[in-house]
Structure formats: C-alpha cells, structure tokens
Amino acid sequence: EVQLVESGGGLVQPGGSLRLSCAASGFTVSSNYMSWVRQAPGKGLEWVSVIYSGGSTYYADSVKGRFTISRDNSKNTLYLQMNSLRAEDTAVYYCARDYRTYGGNSFFDYWGQGTLVTVSS
C-alpha cells in the first residue's frame, strides 16, 4: 500500500527556517517524480517544487531561492528545506507523487495528509 507521511511543520518566526519530511512506503521515492504542494488556510492549492527521478529540481517563483527540495534514498524520504520564511508561506504542506504517463501527462496520484507550517511572530 502506498503511503506518504509528512512531518516537521510548526510555528516559526518570520525569517526563520524549517525542514519538512515526507516518509514514503509502498514505492521508491528515487524512482519517481515527487512534489510539494501547499494550501494556505481557506485557500486553494499551490504547487511549490518538484524533484525528478534523475535529481533535477524545479521551484515555483514564489519560493525560488528560499526553498530546497531533496531526498534521502536510503530512508525513502523526501524533504523540503524552507529558509527566509514569510507570513505568506503559512500553509498546509503536502507531499505528493508526481506520476508521468508515456503520453506526457503529469498528475499527483498519491498525497500525504499534510503538515501545517505557521509563520508568525
């Protein structure tokens, strides 16, 4: 059974840092594309970052230069290092498997339960 479990959220002051983790089971993180998606309270979904199976990484403009996505293959775990946090980064952060079809479609087929990050003084 595929499972994604996030952790590491919490309250942090503006300008601070936090590292989120996403432990996967039922599939191999390093063989898949993996993304982080966030949702501000009462708002819609916003894609944050993706790491390809080959290791390439990409970011939304809103977090570029501040967030870093990575993975630990030995732990089958995805990470999101968040630096220089701002109030507008307050959100539930979900990790999700980014499935690619041979036809070029991309979608998120498995999601974690999310972890809340609150940036406030």
Binding site for other proteins (CB under 8 A): 35, 37, 44-47, 50, 58, 60, 94, 99, 101, 103-109, 111-114
Nearer to other proteins, 42 or 74 (CB): 42
CB of 76 vs other proteins, minimal distance in Å: 19
Nearer to other proteins, 104 or 121 (CB): 104
CB of 81 vs other proteins, minimal distance in Å: 19
Question: What is the token pair recorded at 107?
Answer: 């979608």
Nearer to other proteins, 39 or 83 (CB): 39
CB of 54 vs other proteins, minimal distance in Å: 12
- Contacts of residue 36, defined as CB under 8 A and 6 or more positions apart, other chains included, come to 20, 22, 47, 48, 49, 50, 69, 78, 80, 93, 94, 95, 96
